[in-house]
Amino acid sequence: MKKNDNDQFVNENSKDQQLEQFRSGHDGEALTTNQGLRVSEDEHSLKAGERGPTLMEDFHFREKMTHFDHERIPERIVHARGFAAHGYFQVYEPMAEYTKAGFLQDPSKKTPVFVRFSTVAGSRGSGDTVRDVRGFSTKFYTEEGNYDLVGNNIPVFFIQDAIKFPDLIHAVKPEPHNEIPQAQSAHDTFWDFIANNTESAHMIMWHISDRAIPRSFRMMEGFGVHTFRFINEQGKARFIKFHWKPVLGVHSLVWDEAQKLAGKDPDFHRRDLFEAIEMGNYPEYELGVQMIDEEDEFKFDFDVLDPTKIWPEELVPVKIIGKMTLNQNVTNYFAETEQVAFHPGHVVPGIDFSNDPLLQGRLFSYTDTQLSRLGGPNFHEIPINRPVCPFHNNQRDGMHRMTIDRGQVAYHKNSLQSNYPKTSSASEGGYQHYQEKVEGRKVQARSDSFKDHYSQAILFWNSMSDVEKQHMIQAFSFELGKVKSKDVQQQVVEMLGNIDTFLAGQVAESLGAKKPESKPQEVTMSSPALSQMNTAKLPNTRKVAILADHGFTGAEVSGVMNMLKKSGITAEIVSKQLGTIKGDDGTEIEVQHTLLTGSSVLFDALYVAGGQQSVDSLKQKKEAVYLVDEAFSHLKAVGAGKEAAELLAAAKIHHEEAPGVVVFENSKEVTGEAQEFIKAIAEHRHWDRMI
């Protein structure tokens, strides 16, 4: 080091050498806090007893989580890419028997809501259709204050204790040495984490299933994930789990389709939601709750507080209690979607927490995150976050304060202002925490009841149809095929061997890994509610591409379009160029997509118009033949006019024996075949083609 002309110290060496003193590989080093204190436990937060609440004095947990919460600005660390809409919620019947929450009492009352859907791993600029967990968070603007139900489209999570959340996200995010890959779990660090943290076994089965590539935000379930409590006016408590069930059913993309959409339309999910609402096809979700009486807490073979476990619906039925409708798009993405602040600790009287250690950590983490992301403690004053009811307290000033408070008093208790703002008793609507008895030694440990990592992973596998199982095998093979470490690949195969040896063997074969030894399956139970094959199948709000060119059969296309419209299906024309095309009877229709912009992956089904002139023209275009072939290979419903069977043949589709393919033999009378085509669309996919 030497001084320059301004008497400042400068380094004569290169910039790289200047930075060398700050570099550390961390290999072979003892784990410490940022203050250098050696850490004895990094798996379990400090609790009052093994199943007790997390304690604030756990300085290591707080330091680790605080650093994680502030790692990035201003984008959310997780759930950065999101899209949202406004709507309302109505309860079906008074829920006073179970909870005193005011918004769950009056069926005639519409409670405003704001819902944000998101992907977890990717940045704001990543694609919508990547394989990932989806966030499903709802803010209820109730008369008792804002209530946030902060959930996902998968009912369980990767970890059991919040202290491991930074580790999980560090593992799944782009690897720090090269910032690759973006919005993907198909890389070494993620699968290394999974193999070495087997509590993730159940969640990884969901993540690798079709649930991780939903067809639409409108067609995916939502879950509160954690165990909460309902408290009624009499003080009786019940453990609960929340479910959002889409009226349209639960449907997914196929993997090849999801990958292509990421390139052709990375905004596919947000565009789908926005356009559906603009067209009046308002997404609807029914709210359900599972309830367990406190006296039944220990009667199951799983711990009801374990966030890596579901409560099988066959054991604990879901009671449907209301419906949410999303009927208004945001008017400013940044002001609403980007600035909305959710927090699982935003509750109302009648809803309380459990000692789920993942939930306990989230109650700390979310406020801390908002302080960094939204620039201070006044994020509640941003319009999208403001409650609809008045709020009064003694909190003052801070960055971005918007309220102009009057008066000299900003403390409690006081006499100068008659003790206002004053506290409220429970009878006056004041929130009172459930008086759960808690006792135990301060420990950093996890209850033995949390140590079963595989039984529900097996349950999930048992519950899948053969088609869904095949998709999971392919997904594991793809994800692990991107992993460079043979050792990590083998570790995951061994882990899968604890779930199902056939699954593990198939994945091992695709990787060239060693197959694990066969083991008898200890869990034989299945849960039909977990399979998407058993979901609602409706045609309405689906989107169909009509492939046509000049000379199409006008009467036939008009009849099909009318039938589709009556069923709530949107039809859009794909042709060689934009403008209008003319049918054989002089009918003119406007073209919305060309063969370059109208890929089959943007639609739920395909109809190829009849008319020899149209078919002859399209047969000459390889893009048209490919569009037909792609829709068929993605197992979608395919309809065709009589002459259009030639285009199917050009795509090597033998329509006489292909499920979900409907050829219209009579161009003047389309009613019967159109109804058959609509039924085929409602099926979503025709899996028999895979056989």
The pLDDT tens digits for 606-642 are: 999 999 999 999 999 999 999 999 999 999 999 999 9
Under the banding of pLDDT at 50, 70 and 90, the label for residue 401 is confident
Task: For residue 341, report the phi and psi dihedrals to the nearest 5 degrees.
Answer: -125, 110
Least confident among 31-45, 311-325, 455-469, 575-589: 31-45
Q: Which residue has the higher pLDDT, 212 or 517?
A: 212
What's residue 7's pLDDT? 45
Question: Which of the residues 44, 79, 86, 471 is marked catalytic?
Answer: 79
Q: Which fold has domain 455-532?
A: Hemocyanin, N-terminal domain (1.20.1370)
Residue with the bigger pLDDT between 70 and 42: it is: 42
Task: Identify the pLDDT of residue 665.
Answer: 86
Query: Model confidence over 160-194: pLDDT tens digits?
Result: 999 999 999 999 999 999 999 999 999 999 999 99
> What is the model's pLDDT at position 17?
54
**Residue type (1 letter), 616:** D
Fold of the domain spanning 537-690 = Rossmann fold (3.40.50)
Question: For residues 632 and 238, what is the distance between their CA atoms, to the nearest angstrom?
Answer: 49
Residue-wise pLDDT for 490-533, tens only, equals 999 999 999 999 999 999 999 999 999 888 877 889 999 999 99
pLDDT at 377 over 90: no
Q: Say if residue 22's pLDDT is above 60.
A: no
Q: For residue 361, how many other CB atoms are within 10 A of its CB?
A: 23
Q: What angle do CA 9, 10, 16 make, to 5 degrees?
A: 140
Stretch 260-264: mean pLDDT: 96
The CATH number of the domain covering residues in 52-192+214-385:
2.40.180.10
Annotation says 343 is catalytic: no
Of 12-16, 297-301, 356-360, 447-451, give the lowest mean pLDDT range: 12-16
Pick from 110, 137, 115: nearest CA to 273: 115
Does the pLDDT value for residue 8 go beyond 50? Answer: no
Average pLDDT over residues 317-328: 98
Rounded CA-CA distance 454/462 in Å is 12
Across 130-134, 137-141, 415-419, least confident range: 415-419
Domain with CATH 2.40.180.10 in the chain: 52-192+214-385
Q: What is the pLDDT of residue 205?
A: 98
Torsion angle defined by CA atoms of residues 446, 238, 366 and 65, in that order, rounded to the nearest 10 degrees: -10
Grade residue 2 by pLDDT with cuts at 50, 70 and 90. Answer: very low
Q: Is the pLDDT of residue 9 over 50?
A: no
Residue 27, pLDDT above cutoff 90: no
Q: Are 472 and 465 in contact (CB under 8 A)?
A: no
CA separation for the pair 85, 325 (Å, rounded): 10
* Residues 565-580 pLDDT 10s: 999 999 999 999 999 9
Query: Environment class of residue 283 by beta-carbon count within 10 Å: exposed (0-12), middle (13-18) or buried (19+)?
Result: buried
H or E stretch including 369? helix 357-373
Does this model's pTM top 0.85? My answer is yes
Residues of the chain within CATH 1.20.1370.20 domain(s) are: 455-532
Q: How confident is the model at residue 23 (pLDDT cuts 50, 70, 90)?
A: low
Average pLDDT, the chain: 92
Residue 195, pLDDT > 90, answer yes
Contact 290, 311 (CB under 8 A): yes
What pLDDT score was predicted for residue 422?
82
What confidence tier does 673 reach under pLDDT thresholds 50, 70, 90?
very high
CA distance 202 to 204: 6
Q: From the candidates 60, 86, 146, 152, which is the catalytic residue?
A: 152
Of 575, 547, 571, nearest to 560 (Cα)? 571
Indicate the helix (H) or strand (E) that contains 136.
strand 134-142
Cis peptide before 74 (omega within 30 of 0): yes
Which position has the token pair 């669309």?
681
User: What is the model's pLDDT at position 21?
Assistant: 57
Query: What pLDDT does residue 10 have?
Result: 41
**Listed range (195-199, 367-371, 631-635) with the worst mean pLDDT:** 367-371
Judged by DSSP in three states, 289 sits in: strand
Angle, to 10 degrees, between the axis of helix 255-264 and the axis of helix 466-481? 50
In this predicted structure, the answer to whether residue 6 has a pLDDT above a threshold of 70 is: no
CA angle 172, 177, 178 (to 5 degrees): 85
- Mean pLDDT in residue range 18-26: 58
pLDDT tens for residues 438-448?
889 999 999 99
Q: Where in the chain is the domain with CATH 3.40.50.880?
A: 537-690
Residue 19: what pLDDT?
47
Q: What share of the chain has pLDDT > 70, as a percent?
A: 95
- 1-10, 111-120, 254-263, 502-511: least confident range: 1-10
Whether 4 shows a pLDDT value over 80: the answer reads no
CA quadruple 672, 675, 677, 680: dihedral sign: negative
pLDDT of residue 42: 84
Higher pLDDT, 460 or 69: 460
**Which residue(s) pair with 591 in the sheet?**
579
Q: CA geometry: angle at 538 spanning 537 and 539, to 5°? A: 130
* Distance between CA atoms of residues 554 and 582, nearest Å: 8
For the question of residue 498 being annotated catalytic, the response is no
pLDDT at 208 over 70: yes
Tokens of 398: 């801070």
